[in-house]
Amino acid sequence: MKKLFGTFGVRRIANQILTPEFASKLAAAYGTLVKGWVAVGGDPRTSTPLIKHAVIAGLLSSGCKVVDLGILPTPAVQYAVRNYYNGGVIITASHNPPQYNGIKFVDEDGIGIAEDMELKIEDMFFNENPDRVAYDEIGEVTGNDGLVDEYIDEVIQRVDQDAIAKAKLKVIVDCGSGAACFTTPYILRKLGCEVTTLNCQPDGFFPGRNPEPTEDNLQELIKTVKASGADLGIAHDGDADRTICIDEKGNFVMGDKTFALVEKQLLQENQGGLIVTTVATSSAIYDIAEEYGGEVTATRVGDLLVARELKNSDGLFGGEENGGLIFPDFVYGRDAALSTAKIVEIMALTSKPLSQLVAELPAYQSVKMKVECPDDRKQEIMDKIATDTQEYKVDTTDGVKIFREEGWLIIRPSGTEPIFRCFAEAENVDDATKMAEWGISLVKKHLGK
């Protein structure tokens, strides 16, 4: 059982649990296993310099050499590691509030490290001490000032620049004062878009909005898109691995719609290909794959698992329903910058407004609910539900996914809270709601409530 690592890295309240001592020892344990050049970068949180310097000290102490990349998006660090270094550490708490921070470790391909390596790091952290090298084996710390510009150029080269320039799209960008401040506005301007920025000064207090790009948190962006007659609004989370779009009417576009739009375009461009997603993603992804000659593989929930499967099976494209899209020929992780460039490319090539592109996608309605359940009873409840629903087609890749005529329902235990999540999708909201409620009732029945 992992004690420190969550779904991607270690995330805690900065300087309370995530102290310099904690960060340095954890980084030294990682460094003991890597022993090479390690790139370090992070988001603009107030605690990032404190944790970053502790991480660098730990890496040097264990015998690594360090490249400090400064403040930049998580996927830019992943890009750098895949192309130039032996490992990477990203200091970020992604979309969490400002008092949090976290440490993400990636392997030589730039993918979040696998669970067996996380367990080795924890074992070294708690039980055996990391390597501490002699004074004459301590490595150097260098920088790489050109990395952000290189990342920006690599994104631009992957889309049809002429078509985008001709379309003269008007885009409002809300970076939420996070790491995307250094990338997205520059990328869109280089592509010839007319860009207006909101919250595009990096600031660890996140004064403009909470770093999580939910509809509630993006009200200012929505108002600005409507008031200015823009073609598109773009928002990112704190470490710029997720992109959320607002259409020209000010509608919040759900992440699975963006996923489906890019999937459609890439399958058309490549005449098919393998799409990787999780079991909790919309049936629209399957419908589009079928229509455009693609195949779909579904993994357990988690962006790392999608990225790893894309690498292992040489997939074309992958993603999750929350707006995290993975382009495996670029970065083995969710990338907000290329997601943004792809969306403006699709709008330019089709000459259609985003609302119309979304309306043309297969339409499904989803409903999410949750119900309390003690952690120590989760497995028993899942087993009982799987047995109880044998009359339907059931998939137990992650939790229990039940397929019925009207749609599907997935009942999954949360990895961090004592709850089950019930997520249902159907062609209409009533059916989806009824199925989610049925999921809640199944959990309660087996809990004996």
What burial letters (b/e) apply to 98-111, b meaning 16+ CB within 10 Å? bebbbbbbbbeebb
8 vs 85 by CB, closer to Mg ion: 8
Query: Taking the CB of residue 379, how many other CB atoms lie within 10 A of it?
Result: 10
Contact in structure between 231 and 248 (CB atoms under 8 Å)? yes
Q: Which amino acid is at 198?
A: L
Q: Least distance to Mg ion from the beta carbon of 8, Å? A: 9
Q: Rule CB under 5 A: which of 74-103 touch Mg ion?
A: 94
137, with CB counted inside 10 A (0-12, 13-18, 19+), is exposed
Contact in structure between 417 and 375 (CB atoms under 8 Å)? no
237 vs 309 by CB, closer to Mg ion: 237
Q: Which amino acid is at 5?
A: F
281 vs 283 by CB, closer to Mg ion: 281
43 vs 425 by CB, closer to Mg ion: 43
80 vs 443 by CB, closer to Mg ion: 80
What does the block give as tokens for 360? 């043309």
Q: Least distance to Mg ion from the beta carbon of 320, Å? A: 11
Q: Which positions ≥6 away from 335 have C-beta within 8 Å?
A: 75, 241, 325, 326, 327
Residue 258 binding Mg ion, by CB under 5 A? no
Contact in structure between 275 and 254 (CB atoms under 8 Å)? no
∠ CA 139-140-146, rounded to 5°? 140
> Would residue 94 show up in a list of annotated catalytic residues for this protein?
yes
Contact in structure between 198 and 220 (CB atoms under 8 Å)? yes
Q: Least distance to Mg ion from the beta carbon of 239, Å? A: 4
Q: Least distance to Mg ion from the beta carbon of 170, Å? A: 26
Chain center to CA of 327: 12
- Token look-up 């609910």 returns 369
Q: What's the CA gap between 281 and 221, in Å, rounded? A: 26
Q: Least distance to Mg ion from the beta carbon of 220, Å? A: 20
Q: Least distance to Mg ion from the beta carbon of 331, Å? A: 13
Of 24, 61, 62, 94, which residue is the catalytic one?
94
Q: How many residues bind Mg ion (CB under 5 A)?
A: 4
Q: Least distance to Mg ion from the beta carbon of 237, Å? A: 4
Residue 166: strand, helix, or coil: helix
Q: What are phi and psi of 40, to 5 degrees?
A: -125, 130
Q: What's the CA gap between 302 and 194, in Å, rounded? A: 35
Q: Least distance to Mg ion from the beta carbon of 238, Å? A: 6
237 vs 256 by CB, closer to Mg ion: 237
Q: Rule CB under 5 A: which of 224-243 touch Mg ion?
A: 237, 239, 241
61, with CB counted inside 10 A (0-12, 13-18, 19+), is buried
For Mg ion, which residue has the nearest CB?
Answer: 94
Contact in structure between 422 and 411 (CB atoms under 8 Å)? yes
Query: Taking the CB of residue 141, how many other CB atoms lie within 10 A of it?
Result: 14
List active site positions.
94
Q: State the residues that interact with Mg ion by CB under 5 A.
A: 94, 237, 239, 241
